[in-house]
Structure 1
Amino acid sequence: MPHLFHLTVRSTDIDSIGHVNNAKYLEYMEWARFDWIISKGFTLEELKRLGVMPVVVNITINYRKELRMLEEVQIKTSLIKHGEKSFVLRHKLFNQAQELASDADVTMVMIDAKLRKAVPLPEAIVQAMKDEM
């Protein structure tokens, strides 16, 4: 079942064309991604305690419908796969009319917070992911 995150488009998200700037879609997805990982019990403090941090290494995004100021947006985030050191989340952004406005697959790699090198996903995170799949 996808994790749900809601937001309202703000005036500062709008570009000169009058719709949400393309970079803001990525920011919206980042908010949803952190909400997803926190919902699994992995706050920033817990990740620091584990000595790891997830980093984005790839995003493939599709822009399908424009979003406008004050529009209510729903983001559905789902884990689509995980490996030894990485995982892939799919974000789907829906506008007020429940039309797909954007979707993206985001690949993240877990790194050691001090060494800044890829490391295996901690067992607690793997278990949380197994519960979702």
Structure 2
Amino acid sequence: MTGTTTTTPFTVRVTVRIYEIDAQGHLNNAVYHQYGDHARWACLRAAGISADDLRATGTGPVTLESTIRYHRELRAGDEVDVTCAFDWGDGKTFGIRQELRRADGVLAAEIGSRAGLLDLERRRLVPDPAGRWRALADRPALLGL
């Protein structure tokens, strides 16, 4: 894919809570997706885009595909840094790469996603999501723009 890629990904830290643990004693697989969502929204807020801003424009982000590759276990009490880096192209969709690293730097998981920006009235993807994000953001560099 051609396009712009962020060089230093946005990062947010989360702590694994006891109620997020599965029967094997490690982080439930669905929670990895929740951590990815949390980091993406934190990145948008840091760039100056709120959910209210998006609703006001009649648009909203939509995840089209999300894949997790697990490397190491996460357990209750682990502090985890979740990154968020965007890969922009020329089409209606864009990529998001995320890493989940324990505070000691060990890679626990990677999330790869395809996403778009949905026109909420027409229920179709907007043709230039990068342009829309750039116009809304106070700090578009955090989005790789």
* TM-score, normalised via structure 2 length: 0.83
Shift of 1:129: 6.1
CA distance in 1, matches of 2:89, 2:106: 28
> Secondary structure of the equivalent of 1:76?
strand
Cα root mean square deviation, aligned: 1.9
* TM-score, normalised via structure 1 length: 0.90
State whether residues 13 and 24 of structure 1, in contact with CA within 8 Å, keep that contact through their aligned partners in structure 2: yes
More RCO (CA 8 Å, sep 6+): 2
Correspondence 1:61-80 to 2 at 5 A: 61-80=68-87
In the alignment, structure 1 residue 39 sits paired with structure 2 residue 46: yes
Structure 1: which amino acid aligns with 2:40?
R
CA distance in 2, matches of 1:122, 1:9: 32
Could you tell me which runs of 5 or more consecutive residues in structure 1 were left unpaired when the two chains were aligned.
none
Shift of 1:84: 3.2
1:130 to 1:93, Cα distance in 2 relative to 1, 3 A: closer
CA distance in 1, matches of 2:54, 2:82: 23
1:89 to 1:129, Cα distance in 2 relative to 1, 3 A: farther
Structure 2: which amino acid aligns with 1:40?
A
Stretch of structure 1 that moved more, 38-47 or 25-34:
38-47
Could you tell me which runs of 5 or more consecutive residues in structure 2 were left unpaired when the two chains were aligned.
1-7
1:106 to 1:20, Cα distance in 2 relative to 1, 3 A: same
Identity of aligned residues (%): 29
Tell me how many residue pairs correspond in the alignment.
Answer: 133
